[in-house]
Structure 1
Amino acid sequence: MISLPAEFEQFHWMVDMVQNVDLGLVVLDRDCQVQVWNGFMTHHSGIQAHDAIGKSLFDIFPEIPQEWFRLKTKPVYDLGCRSFITWQQRPYLFKCRNVRPVTQQADFMYQNITLNPMRMPTGEVRSLFLSIQDATSEALVLTQQQSLK
């Protein structure tokens, strides 16, 4: 049996977690070029990582308003703080199919998104990562309750 260094095992586990977590993870540089595209994003968007990495977010999803999105990234880069996009503000950032069409009557996945700074050892923020949460169940319950009023 081959013994691997602990650091290699931890790195392998980290990559496995990023690829298999039930959360979309996308890393963007300051030019909005995709650096990381995890398995959740591949599964829900239908876009393979090799087709996303190195491309502009706006080339992959031309429906995203560039000026609006760049304003959302500004506090992340300028202040090093998180920024948020909730499904109530905009139902989705990435047009992804609803993967539970039988139990949930929605044509797309509602999303809550957090824009997180990624700091260099110097403290400089050169990239950010988006965490994309499927909020479809929550959105449908709330919209159904509102329609009953």
Structure 2
Amino acid sequence: MGNLPAEFEQFHWMVDMVQNVDLGLVVIDRNYHVQLWNGFMTHHSGIQSHDAIGKPIFDLFPEIPQEWFKLKTKPVYDLGCRSFITWQQRPYLFKCRNVRPITQQADFMYQNITLNPMRTTTGEIRSLFLSVQDATAEALVVLNQK
């Protein structure tokens, strides 16, 4: 049997990292219901995790084009491969306020999104997780050069 106290401590470290990493982490199931909503997402969207979990992502963010987003998730669910949404393709997936003082010239947070499959112990993909990176500073540099 493993070292239970150490495994328990590592579990708590993982939970702490997920909640405090400077990256949005969102888990959605195949019906697009939110399963996980980390601290970054709460801070930037203003939506508390207890208000997001269990709700369809499209109810929380009605500006997300449903058919387009479903097409983006299809290869993740069907083939188990990653999919990407860059700020150049679409400035944001989740309309979040820009909270960085240096880049206040933007009305919203530009985002780079990675959609990743989540496999069960049997290899089935029932959920995916989105990592949301704040790309506002990068976007403003590029946009201000035009």
Give the AA of the match of 2:144.
Answer: Q
Contact 1:24–1:131 (Cα < 8 Å) also in 2: yes
Amino acid at match of 1:30: R
Q: Aligned AA for 2:49? A: A
| Aligned twin of 2:54 | 54
Deviation string, structure 1 residues 67-108 (Cα, Å, up to 9, x no partner): 000000000000000000000000000000000245441000
Unaligned runs of 5+ in 1: none
Q: Is the 8 A contact 1:104 1:137 kept in 2?
A: no
Give the aligned residue type for 1:94. Answer: F
Q: Where does 1:85-96 land on structure 2 (aligned, <5 Å)?
A: 85-96=85-96
Q: How far does the alpha carbon of each residue in 1:10-31 deviate from its partner, in whole angstroms, 9 at most, with x for none? A: 0000000000000000000000
Superposed structure 1 runs of 4+ greater than 3 Å apart: 101-104
Identity of aligned residues (%): 86
State how far apart, in whole Å, the 1-side matches of 2:103 and 2:32 are: 35
Match of 1:80 in 2: 80
Q: How does the TM-score come out when normalised to structure 2?
A: 0.95
Structure 1 length normalisation: TM-score? 0.93
Partner SS for 2:26: strand
Question: Could you say which residue in structure 2 is the equivalent of 1:10?
Answer: 10
Matched residue type, 2:42: T
Any stretches of 5+ residues in structure 2 without a counterpart?
A: none
Alignment length (residue pairs): 143
Shift of 1:62: 0.7
| Distance in 1 (alpha carbons) for counterparts of 2:101 and 2:144 | 16
